[in-house]
Amino acid sequence: KGHNLKKIILTPLVSIYKGQKVNFIYNSGLIKISSKAIALEKGAVQQDILVKIESTGKKLIASIVDEQTVIRR
């Protein structure tokens, strides 16, 4: 007799939460800029989220690197 297999939905673990202060890095090869930002969405490592740069108020999409860092290439 066979066994019924249940589907398990795997959701990525949240690394950064909405409202969290993060380190923002912009890297275009020759230029590397870092700044403080606020996450406007939650997300997991390798996901893209919207962040707001604290010094300028500009909103950008950046990829989550770890629990404290996002990067835009």
pLDDT in tens, 12-54: 789 999 999 999 999 988 999 999 999 999 999 999 999 999 9
Beta bridge partners of 53: 37
For residue 73, what pLDDT is reported? 85
Q: Is the pLDDT of residue 64 over 60?
A: yes
Query: 3-state class of 50 per DSSP?
Result: strand
Q: Is-contact 38 22, C-beta < 8 A?
A: yes
Q: Is the pLDDT of residue 6 over 70?
A: no
Would you say the pTM of this structure is higher than 0.85? no
